Amino acid sequence: MNVLIIGSGGREHALAWKIAQSPHLTKLFCAPGNAGIASLATCVDIAADDIYKLRDFALQHHIDLTVVGPELPLTLGIADVFQEAGLRVFGPSRAAARLEGSKVFAKKLMQHAGIPTADFAVFDDPESARRYVIKKGGACVVKVDGLAAGKGVFPCATPEEACTAITRIMVDNEFGSAGNAIVIEEFLEGEEASFICVTDGITITPLPSSQDHKRVFDDDRGPNTGGMGAYSPAPVVTPDVERKVMTSIMEPLLHALSSHGIEYQGVIYAGLMIHNNLPRVLEFNVRFGDPETQPIVVRLDNDLLELMSAVVDKRLASYTVVCDPRPAVCVVMAAGGYPGQYEKGQVIQGLETAASLPDTVIFHAGTAVKNGVVVTNGGRVLGVTARGDSIAHAIERAYAAVRSISWHNVHYRHDIGRRALGR
């Protein structure tokens, strides 16, 4: 099979690394890719959101399966465009991708389906929103309606903080048209987890659980990011919690989408808040998580290309997901200043040394090759991922690799996986 992966981050490198192991693979392409992906695939200089140029490339190169990594091309309708051209694509339609593309749509769908989530209100006017949070008092969460690269969620301890967030979104237009509407939610207590499933529209099957670390600094301080690290499995997702998630969230979601005439195919990812073994949905995403994909794929024993084909061909019911019981941990190494302003072009040292360590894989995210050397080319630069006999062992291995890698003004959290150790 000729396979095209769309995207350029750590998630796409992880998918490429796993797909490259499949005996069914003939040739692997990635658009646009990065320095790490280039060692596994032919990188193509087409932007991930240039969906018609990507379609033409897929037709010209006889691509048998296209795997869409990021959310933006999905919300633009890449799956629809490819399918209309007779191309097989792993990823939901434009209508289904509204689940991530609009938090307002997702919240109203959950409300309609009785899916447990935080109480909420929707606003398209900043003054009304400010009056609402002042009247309510206390903590709340302010969310941008549209796509914001994981940075459009503002947990606010006070009404004053909420008013500042509303101003940033709706007056200062920090997120452009994505912030034309906002969702204001009750503040949920508990522990977060990522619950990622694949579905062919009929059958829905969970992948190994995981937990992301969204804040930029240790002890969950600082602004939200795209994710500073993850581990799998998440001990908070017990077998009982998994059963509740499937029966009260994932299966009702599939039915609710179907009742709206939306057939969903690809990945459904629920960001959960779990309190007293009861899960509630924070948000839905319509693609693999980043960095959750990195520890998940190193634990996945299945041929990922076979699994994706089972989804696209609607035969997931006959497929069983098999997982290595050993935990895995991913530590994101970022450019200093991220998620704000940061420098690019810093020479990265120690990659070969780190990659030679046992059960360790270095997934590239924001990297490029300049004058024959690998340099930084984004905010999140690397996802250093290791597997171990225990969560403590995996953490130890991941950080041993992190300490082998350096560049000017590198930043990473030192507490990835600590919550799992507490359990």
Give the integer Cα–Cα distance in Å for 210 and 230: 7
Identify whether 333 is part of a domain.
Answer: yes
Regarding whether 164 and 47 lie in a shared domain, the answer is no
Regarding whether 205 and 141 lie in a shared domain, the answer is no
Identify whether 102 is part of a domain.
Answer: no
Give the integer Cα–Cα distance in Å for 145 and 143: 6
Identify whether 337 is part of a domain.
Answer: yes
DSSP 8-state class, residue 300? B
From 66, 91, 116, the end of a domain falls on 91
Give the integer Cα–Cα distance in Å for 234 and 211: 6
Structural domain span for residue 356 = 328-422
Identify whether 415 is part of a domain.
Answer: yes
Regarding whether 339 and 288 lie in a shared domain, the answer is no
Regarding whether 415 and 388 lie in a shared domain, the answer is yes
Residue 7: both structure tokens together = 């995207």
Identify whether 248 is part of a domain.
Answer: yes
Per-residue pLDDT of the chain (423 residues; tens, 9 = 90+): 999 999 999 999 999 999 999 999 999 999 999 999 999 999 999 999 999 999 999 999 999 999 999 999 999 999 999 999 999 999 999 999 999 999 999 999 999 999 999 999 999 999 999 999 999 999 999 999 999 887 899 999 999 999 999 999 999 999 999 999 999 999 999 999 999 999 999 999 999 999 999 999 999 999 989 999 999 999 999 999 999 999 999 999 999 999 999 999 999 999 999 999 999 999 999 999 999 999 999 999 999 999 999 999 999 999 999 999 999 999 999 999 999 999 999 999 999 999 999 999 999 999 999 999 999 999 999 999 999 999 999 999 999 999 999 999 999 999 999 999 877
Number of domains in the chain: 4
Beginning with the edge strand found earlier in the chain, give each strand of the sheet holding 191-199 in spatial order: 204-206, 191-199, 266-275, 278-285
Regarding whether 220 and 174 lie in a shared domain, the answer is no
Regarding whether 266 and 303 lie in a shared domain, the answer is yes
Regarding whether 314 and 197 lie in a shared domain, the answer is yes
Cα–Cα separations (whole angstroms), residue 220 to 25, 42, 216, 403: 40, 38, 7, 21
Cβ(252)–Cβ(258) below 8 Å:
no
Regarding whether 249 and 365 lie in a shared domain, the answer is no
- In this prediction, residue 147 carries a pLDDT of 93
Phi, psi of 12 (to 5 degrees): -70, -35
From 285, 318, 351, the end of a domain falls on 318
Domain with residue 38: its CATH number is 3.40.50.20
Identify whether 374 is part of a domain.
Answer: yes
Domain with residue 375: its CATH number is 3.90.600.10
Cα–Cα separations (whole angstroms), residue 89 to 30, 36, 84, 93: 14, 23, 11, 10
From 263, 298, 318, the end of a domain falls on 318
Domain with residue 149: its CATH number is 3.30.1490.20
Regarding whether 309 and 337 lie in a shared domain, the answer is no
pLDDT in tens, 241-292: 999 999 999 999 999 999 999 999 999 999 999 999 999 999 999 999 999 9
Cβ(52)–Cβ(31) below 8 Å:
no
Regarding whether 313 and 273 lie in a shared domain, the answer is yes
Identify whether 185 is part of a domain.
Answer: no
Identify whether 111 is part of a domain.
Answer: no
Regarding whether 8 and 79 lie in a shared domain, the answer is yes
Regarding whether 310 and 206 lie in a shared domain, the answer is yes
Three-state secondary-structure class, residue 319: coil
